[in-house]
Amino acid sequence: MQTLEPPSATPSEPATRLLLETGKVKIDSHADDPRWQIAWRIATSGSLGRSRLLARFLLFTVDRLIRGRSDEITEQQIGILVFDRNEGYDSNEDNIVRSYARKLRRRIDNYYANEGKNEEMYLDIPRGGYVPSFTQRDLDGSARSHTPSEETHTEVPDMQASVPLDRLQSDEETGSAPRTSFALHQFLRRYGILLALCMGISIGLSLHFTRFPRLLKHGLSSSDEDASKSLWQQMFVADRDTFVVPSDDGLVIMQRLTERPVPLARYIDGSYRNSNSERDQSNAEILKLGARRYTSIVDLDFAVHLMQVDGVDPARLVVRYARDLRMDDLRTGNAVLIGSVESNPWIQIFEPQMNFRQRVSTNPQIPSGFLNTHPHPGERDLYGTPGRDHTYGQIAYVPNLSSVGHVLIVGGLNTAGTQAATTFLLTPSLMAPILRRAQTADGQIRPFELLVSADNFSSNASTPQLITERIENR
């Protein structure tokens, strides 16, 4: 039986520095330990999609196991040491570790189904905890015997704590049948009203979704569909993740009530929720809104439809709440940022390279709207909303932070503006002419920006219309 060996006993120096020495904690290498060897092969494989955080998550847990420090492999410690969360952070409000754990388990399964199908040792992270286990495999891939290791520590979820909505998934971390039954009973007793509300929203969404097929089929031709598909094929590729990032509407409510904008730096480190000044202390209850996880139905509508678009690989689509996104995600992956600069501060990073930039003003003398930094003849300097019956949306396709991937920004001046932008983007007959103009001879799509408008009827947009466009080198 052939065992896949690592390229060398010691990983390459650049890879070692990137994966083992960056962040809050240094991870030791154990080149002679077969458990470390299989962990390293998985961490540096294509199955992890170039995600440094996924790789460090895996290597951190294996390093602690090998060093006999399994007591440190907890959600809280992983959040602090791997994902750079602050000491004492609330894992019920911020579930990034659980989210990445589900994703890591899927990627490990993918590794063994493809690159690692001939591996003799099977690495697993059992549900209910984060301590890895190692099992010998036969040629047919079945388990044979358990590799001696420390006794596995299992972290039992606290059922009295808040249950994030994204934990209600098919690969939820569950235990035995009796415990699952008890957990379900506790969940229904505590969250029955919320569940009923979610069901009501789901019914409303299902009715709302029925209008999209009509829009998608309007004027649709095979050439329009092919042009639209080319965009999605470049946004969703096999070797990297695409993060779909809905708006943070709790942040918007907080900013409107405090009349204070939140810069990206404060949003990333979470300091915007701290009561540092006397004014902040008087608004302590309002600041709590910044910690709540609210988003728009329009954003969720768009995310659901992206999963159904031809050319989109659902395995590489990762829905990530804006507060949980990290700068590294925008370097190594593709991203779809939904909303305005007020509700999705990550858009601020890309505005310097954009022509249409959103201005949000609390001063009635300074109108809000999309600034046209380099207007063409016949264009306006500002596209704002003078009344409540009209709105504007934006679609921008720009390089990611490392210029190896792409970022798609889809938003508007308000909910109706975002709806106008998402509808335009998802309608091939509307997008195809722009994509043909932006396409190069080798089939690549150059960066572009679109400004669209629509009538606003009670926060719902009518059929959007293109106002103006910018295409790189045109």
CA 412 to chain centre: 19
Structure confidence at residue 350 (pLDDT):
94
Lowest mean pLDDT across 9-18, 47-56, 329-338: 9-18
Confidence at 285, pLDDT banded by 50, 70, 90: low
pLDDT for res 20? 61
> What is the C-alpha radius of gyration for the chain, rounded to an integer number of angstroms?
24
* Separation CA 99–CA 53 (nearest Å): 12
Of 361, 445, 331, 443, the C-alpha closest to 395 is 445
Q: Report residue 188 as tokens.
A: 């229904």
pLDDT of 466 over the 90 cut: yes
Between the alpha carbon of residue 432 and those of residues 165, 311, 426, 466, the distances in Å are 36, 15, 10, 12
From 61-65, 244-248, 459-463, the region with the lowest mean pLDDT: 459-463
Give the pairing of strands 390-399 and 317-319: unpaired
Tokens 């911020």 belong to 94
**H or E segment at 337?**
strand 334-338
- C-alpha 29/C-alpha 21 separation (Å) is 10
Most confident of 56-60, 91-95, 158-162, 387-391: 56-60
Distances (CA, A) of 471 to 4, 148, 341, 445: 47, 59, 22, 10
Measured distance CA(422)–CA(445) in Å, rounded: 19
* 329: CB partners within 8 A, 6+ apart: 53, 241, 243, 320, 335
Residue 235 CA to residue 242 CA, distance in Å, equals 7
**pLDDT, tens digit (0-9, with 9 covering 90-100), for 350-390:** 999 999 999 887 777 888 899 999 999 999 999 986 556 78
**Residue holding tokens 């091939």?**
428
**Mean pLDDT of the residues in the chain:** 75
Does the model's pTM come out above 0.85? Answer: no
- Region 59-70: what's the mean pLDDT? 90
- Phi, psi dihedral angles at 244 (to 5 degrees): -100, 120
3-state secondary structure of 412: strand
Q: What are phi and psi of 201, to 5 degrees?
A: -65, -40
Half-sphere exposure for 342 (CA within 13 Å, toward CB): 23
The domain locations on the chain are 13-159, 211-248+295-471
How many residues are present in the chain?
474
Q: Which pLDDT value is given to residue 24?
A: 63
Strands 334-338 vs 356-359: parallel, antiparallel or unpaired: unpaired
Give the distance from CA 238 to its chain's centroid.
16
First to last CA, the chain: 58
CA distance 325 to 141: 35
d(CA 293, CA 392): 25
Q: What is the mean pLDDT of residues 35-50?
A: 86
According to the model, what pLDDT value does residue 289 have? Answer: 65
Beta-sheet strands, E only, within 230-333 = 242-245, 317-319
Residues 429-451 have a mean pLDDT of 93
Residue type, 417: G
Cα separation, 415 vs 305, in Å, equals 17
For residue 391 the two structure tokens come to 């709105």
Residues in Cβ contact with 286 at an 8 Å cutoff, skipping those fewer than 6 apart: 254, 257, 258
Q: Identify the CATH class of 211-248+295-471.
A: alpha beta
Q: What tokens appear for 80 in the block?
A: 């602090």
CA distance 253 to 259: 10
Residue of 215, 213, 227, 283 whose CA lies nearest to 255: 283
The helices-and-strands tally (H runs, E runs) of the chain is 16, 14
Whether 243 contacts 320, CB under 8 Å: yes
Q: Please tell me the predicted confidence (pLDDT) of residue 184.
A: 41
Distance of alpha carbon 280 from alpha carbon 330, whole angstroms: 31
Closest of 452, 353, 456, 458 to residue 411, by C-alpha = 452
Beta strand 406-412 with 334-338 is parallel
